[in-house]
Amino acid sequence: MLRRRLLIMLGTTLVVVLALGSYKGFSIYQQLQKLAAPPKPVFVSAQTAINQPWQPRLVTVGSLTAFQGVELTSETRGLVQKVFFDSGQKVERGQPLVQLNSTVEQASLATAEASLGLAKLEFERARDLLKRQALAKSEFDRLAAELARSSAVVDQLRAVLAKKQILAPFSGTIGIRKIDVGSQLSNGAPFATLQDLSKLYLDFFLPEQNLPLLKPGQPVMVRVSAYPQETFEARIVAINPKVETNTRNVQVRATLENPDNRLLPGMYAALAVHYSEPEEAVVVPETAVTFTLYGHSVFVVTSKPGEDGKPLLDEDNQPQLIVERRSVETGDRRDGQVEVRKGLKAGEQVVTNGQLKLDNGTLIKVVADPAQKTPAAN
């Protein structure tokens, strides 16, 4: 009985060992089959590098300021009698804006004009008497001085009265009104802003090494966040003859036409100075370039050579494709494109999507990328 149990246990153990051995052998066989099978290609998207006109430019940021802009104030104090404008109103040069109470000044002027009239009459009489030698020369001189003094007083009072009416110093757009009828306006207190928005200044800074590339009249392409799809053109009008000692930058000013007043002072602007004619450049999508601190590179698509040097073919009788990692020197980046200055030629195909699974010599298969667009000329 004991022997029978031992034989059964031994048989069972043998069956289990044989089953495990068969499973392990089958697993090893599968692994060997996988190793012996050709590697599967990695699916990627690719695009051909092209030659296209590429505008050399200097990229920076700046801010817009009004061609003319002031805070409107009064030269004299007084009670606001009339207000001739509203917030946001467009006004012309010389247009009345505010009338201050001028009752006292008008009365003083009337008195002074009456005194001036009397001084003129006395002076004319004295001149006739002097011709007939019926008046001393000293008396005539006193009356002449009195006439001059009276005339000066009238001119002074007229100037004071004129300050009671505030006029627009130039044509433009009024800002937010800060006064109303009955307000007490202090000397020098601002009551609104006036901006001439028909033309704007664009102020920006560039490194001093860019100074030889700059000159008045150069075009500047401007974009603002309020209108991200539009580009506005400005022109350089002045270059500061002094370099900032702290930043080693030079200030540049351009003017920008603004006939519809859509652009406003204070707007932040992204800009590009075009300093020469467009040049032919090799351009690829920005997604094709791997940017690192140690250098930039692209994966160039090429055919896999056989022992005879001819391209190997796949099951569809098409050349097998592999990638070659190549270091490149890049230039300016714009609108999803990048200029390649060295390391790539026009006509070579580069991977634009799927680089994470690639290494030098990886087998690939190129598939269409619906989101991919052909680069547009700049």
Domain 58-67+196-274 fold: Elongation Factor Tu (Ef-tu); domain 3 (2.40.30)
Three-state DSSP class for residue 32: helix
Show the tokens assigned to 229. Answer: 């799809």
Residue 29, pLDDT score: 57
pLDDT digits (tens, 9 = 90+) for 200-241: 999 999 999 999 999 999 999 999 999 999 999 999 999 999
Judged by phi (left if over 0) then psi (alpha if -120 to 50, else beta), residue 88 lies in left
pLDDT digits (tens, 9 = 90+) for 317-366: 788 888 999 999 998 888 889 999 999 999 999 999 988 888 888 998 88
Judged by phi (left if over 0) then psi (alpha if -120 to 50, else beta), residue 283 lies in beta
Under CATH, domain 102-163 is a member of which superfamily? Helix hairpin bin (1.10.287.470)
Burial class (CB in 10 A: 0-12, 13-18, 19+), 158: middle
**Which DSSP category does 228 fall into?**
T
Query: Which helix (H) or strand (E) covers residue 329, if one does?
Result: strand 321-334
Name residue 119's amino acid. Answer: A
The torsion angles phi and psi of 297, rounded to 5 degrees, stand at -150, 160
Q: What is the mean pLDDT of the chain?
A: 86
Residue 324, pLDDT score: 92
Domain 42-53+279-366 has CATH 3.90.1150.10: no
Tell how far CA 148 is from the center of its chain: 60
Mind giving me the DSSP string for 261-321? --S-TT-EEEEEEE-S--EEEEEEEGGG-EEETTEEEEEEEEEPB-TTSSBPB-TTS-B-E
Q: CB within 8 A of 166, min separation 6: which ones?
A: 72, 74, 96, 97, 98, 99, 100
The torsion angles phi and psi of 38, rounded to 5 degrees, stand at -65, 145
Tell how far CA 98 is from the center of its chain: 37
Which residue ranges in the chain fall short of pLDDT 70? 1-7, 11, 15-19, 21, 23, 25-26, 28-38, 370-378
Domain ranges of the chain: 42-53+279-366, 58-67+196-274, 102-163
Full-model pTM: 0.65
Residue 374, pLDDT score: 47
Residue 104, pLDDT score: 85
- Separation between Cα atoms, residue 254 and residue 262, nearest integer Å: 18
Alpha helices in the chain (DSSP H): 2-36, 103-131, 137-162
- Separation between Cα atoms, residue 185 and residue 89, nearest integer Å: 21
Residue 45, pLDDT score: 92
Residue 349, pLDDT score: 93
